[in-house]
Amino acid sequence: MLISLIVPIRNEQAGLDRFWQAITAVLEQTSYEFELVMVDDGSSDDSWRLISEFTTTDRPSLHVAAIRLSRNFGKEAAILAGLRQAEGSAAIVLDADLQHPPELIPKMLDLWDQGRTPIVEGVKRKRQHESFMKRMGASLYYRIFSLSSGLDMQGASDFKLLDRRVMDQYINLPETDRYFRGLTAWMGFDAAAIEFEPPDREAGESGWSLHNLLALARSTIISFSSLPLRIVTWLGVAGLIFSLALTIQTLWYKWMGFAEEGFPTVILLILGIGSMILFSLGLIGEYIGEIYREVKRRPSYIVSETLSPSEHISQPSREQSADVVTAQAHEEVRE
Ligand code: UDP
Ligand code: MG
């Protein structure tokens, strides 16, 4: 049985050799056949050269396919590109920096093969190596995400095994803007969990800046939940009730002949309501932006180069396969 390993890679030249060694060592312990799909997500270092060298491996039970995206499209896009290329009966997505321990692969495969669970997910046990701020931020984000989307994501990671059925469903989802972790939870298939403690990065640097992380948090919450919009509506309703009460009070005072000077109240109200309106408009704008990005139907990524030894050898070219399809269609008509 063929198992695909999907690895998104961005500027990992310093750690790729170690990754390759770790992977080959682990694969030798199992009897499956493997396909390693390495997706270069617009690296500016030597990663692509290293990846292309790996494709010439002559290990009998390991095929290596390399996909190069035309620029940096982000990890989500790289994962999708890898899953589309994968031909295995199951796929395992893992990081190239060894923070998703390859040693767990045999255990994941056991759970999938014997337990027949369509998803096996790596759950991060602790985040003790990360800074206090990063842990707090991550925990706050997951709390907001879970609350707004109804999907529990504490400890979730991108280290996952997906059965072919799940891969196909994921590939066929209509949206351009993907969030792997969230969508696999959303699809609702049974999942077994394997706990792991992410080790420190072996080499290189994390590609995520604070800005990137905030952008990811914003876009994932927006694409999974319309709760923020509903909160705005509730705020509006609360504001309406408050202003009705205030109107009645003001009119009452006026009729009774003791109109207040009330200048600070006016300023506070103007400031408060003004900023609430701006905030709400901004929030609605975020949703419109998301809709705009989706309706353009631009692809999530563009591939500039693919190296796949198996493709040259066994697969028909696109024109040929189109011919085959037409021939089959004629056959069916004749029958
Ligand atoms: N990565 C990617 N595209 C990006 C950023 C990261 O393909 O734009 C890859 C990266 O090479 C690594 C994985 O995604 O294999 C996880 O990235 P990183 O270690 O930077 O993230 P973290 O571990 O901090 O979540
Ligand atoms: Mg990492």
pLDDT of residue 320: 41
How high is the pLDDT of residue 208? 73
Share of the chain above pLDDT 90, in %: 53
Contact between residue 95 and residue 38 where contact means Cβ atoms under 8 Å apart: no
Q: Name the more confident of 326 and 147.
A: 147
CA 37 to chain centre: 17
Task: Tell me which ligand sits closest to the C-alpha of residue 39.
Answer: 1
161-201 tens-digit pLDDT: 999 999 999 999 999 999 999 999 999 999 999 999 988 88
Decide: helix, strand or coil at residue 258: coil
What sign has the CA pseudo-torsion 303, 307, 311, 316?
A: positive
In this structure, which amino acid lies at residue 274? G
- pLDDT for position 314: 42
Q: Is the pLDDT of residue 51 over 60?
A: yes
Q: Is the pLDDT of residue 59 over 60?
A: yes
**Is residue 335 scored above 60 in pLDDT?**
no
pLDDT above 70 coverage of the chain, percent: 90
Give distance in angstroms: CA of 206 to centre of ligand 1: 6
Which residues approach ligand 1 with their CB closer than 6 A?
A: 8-10, 12, 41, 72, 74-75, 78, 95-97, 99, 206-208
What number of CA atoms fall less than 13 Å from residue 11's CA on the CB side? 10
Pocket perturbation via mutation, ligand 1, pick of 208, 211, 219 by most ligand atoms within 8 A of CB: 208
Model-level pTM?
A: 0.83
Neighbours of ion ligand 2 (CB under 5 A): 97, 99
Helix then strand then coil, % of the chain, to nearest 5: 55, 15, 30
Determine which helix (DSSP H) or strand (DSSP E) holds 38, and give its type and residue range.
strand 33-40
Ligand with minimal distance to 215 CA: 1
How many angstroms is it from 280 CA to the middle of ligand 2?
35
The phi and psi torsions of 64 (rounded to 5 degrees) equal -120, 125
Residue 132 has a pLDDT of 83
The answer, yes or no, to whether residue 155 has pLDDT greater than 90, is no
Per-residue pLDDT of 257-293, as tens digits, reads 877 677 777 888 888 888 889 889 988 988 998 999 8
101-105, 306-310, 330-334 — most confident range: 101-105
Q: Cα separation of 67 and 83, whole Å?
A: 11
Q: Residue 158: nearest ligand to its CA?
A: 1
Q: Which two tokens stand for residue 163?
A: 């059965």
Residue with more model confidence, 272 or 324:
272
